[in-house]
Amino acid sequence: MKPAPTNDVLRGTLDLLILKTLAPAPEHGWAIAQRIEQQSEAALQIGQGSLYPALQRLEQRGWIDSNWQTTDQNRRAKYYHLTTTGRRALNAETESWRRYVHAVELILQTT
């Protein structure tokens, strides 16, 4: 049913990155993409085609919530913020990601 994802970032990872980006303060979609791009030193590019479906998904899971606010330039934009469940999820996801990276690292170090 769902079209195949064409993200540059692995799907599960994208959720984690969005949650992390939203952790300090609410942000709108474009800013989330920019922030991820900048902080990864342009290594990770988030296509809009993945970003908005991901936001939709997270919202439906109840991890983030949204409301319309005015930006500094006086433009209306949809801001997303973490919910309590989302914050818990961020911790859990971060934890499991670290374990995963550690495990992969262990394997790469042998030999």
Partner 1 sequence: MDQLRGWWKRARALVRPTAVDREMTDELAFHLEMEVAKNLRAGMSPAAARRAARISFGGVERFKEEVRAERGIAWVETLGQDLRQALRGIRRAPGFAAVAILTLGLGIGASTMIFSVVDAVVFAPLPFALPDRLIHGRETNPEGADFSVSEPNYLDFRDRNQTLAGLAAYRVDQVSLTGGTEPERITAVAATHSLFSTLGIGAAIGRVFTAEEDRPDGAAAVVVLGHGLWQRAFGGDSSIVGRTITLKGQPFAVIGVVPSTFRFLQADAWMPLAPSPRSDRDDHWLDLIGRLRPGATVEQARADLARIAAQNSVTYPAVAGWGVRVHRLDEWIVGPGFRQSSLLLAGAVGILLLLACTNVANLLLARASARQTDLAVRLALGAGQGRLIRQFLTESAVLSMLGAIVGLMAVGWAVAALRSVPVGLVPRLETVAVNGRVLGFALAVAVLASVGAGILPALQASKTDVHSTLKRAGRSGGSAGRHRLREGLVVAQVALAVMLLIGGGLLVRSLVRLQRLDTGLATEHVWTVPLQLSPAQYPEEWKVARFYDALATRIEAIPGIRSAGATNVNPYSGANLVNDVTPDERAAEHPTGYLQAAWRIVSPGYFESAGVPVIKGRDFGEVDVVDGVPVAVISKTLAGRLWPGQDPIGKRLFWGGTDGKPRTVIGVVGDIRDVTVEAAPPPVMFLSTRQIVGPAMTMVVRADREIPNIGAEIRRAVWAEDANLPVPAVRAMAESRSEAIARPRFNAALLAGFATAALLLAVLGLYGVLSFAVVERTREIGVRIALGAEPPKVVGMLVGRGLLLTGLGIAIGLVGAVGLASLMTSLLYQTTGTDPLTFVAVPVLLLLVALLAAYFPASRATRVDPLTALRGE
Q: Site residues (CB under 8 A) for partner 1?
A: 1-3, 28-31, 34, 47-49, 52-54, 56-57, 59-63, 65, 75-78, 83-86
Nearer to partner 1, 52 or 100 (CB): 52
The C-alpha atoms of residue 27 and residue 57 are separated, in whole angstroms, by: 16
Q: Decide whether 2 or 105 has the Cβ nearer to partner 1.
A: 2
CB of 3 to partner 1, least distance (A): 5
Sheet holding 27-28, edge to edge: 27-28, 76-82, 64-70
Q: Is 78 helix (H, G, I), strand (E, B) or coil?
A: strand
Which residues touch 8 (CB under 8 Å, ≥6 apart)?
44, 45, 46, 47, 50
Nearer to partner 1, 12 or 49 (CB): 49
Nearest-approach distance from CB 81 to partner 1, in angstroms:
12
